[in-house]
Amino acid sequence: MWGTLFGGGAAANKKKQDAAKNSIVKLREQVNMLEKKEAHLQKQIDDLTATAKRNVTTNKKGKPPAYFPLSSPLCVRREAISTMIDDTDLGQLL
């Protein structure tokens, strides 16, 4: 009886525990999604780099090489995602 008057009780504690668990689960899901995005962007960058290098070696017309620039939007997005992953440190929550 006194516990419910002062904000205690089993129901209040259970809600707090469930909220903490749910937030950790959501954070893990977000980190997993960001890691998948980062892997996909890295694969795209690797493919474009390989294509650019292949085109440079087959280009015999004397044009300057057109390598895939490392400051492209894909690289910038990949760096932003890796920064977000680094910022969400799950080690402190577990």
Maximum pairwise Cα distance, the chain: 88
| CA count, 13 A, side-chain hemisphere, 32 | 6
pTM of structure: 0.62
Domain positions in the chain are 31-57+67-88
Residue bearing tokens 């910038």: 76
pLDDT reported for residue 3: 56
Indicate the SS3 state at residue 8.
Answer: coil
What does 43-58 look like in DSSP terms, one character per residue?
HHHHHHHHHHHHHHHH
pLDDT tens column, 11-68: 667 777 788 889 889 989 989 999 999 999 999 888 888 887 777 666 566 555 555 5
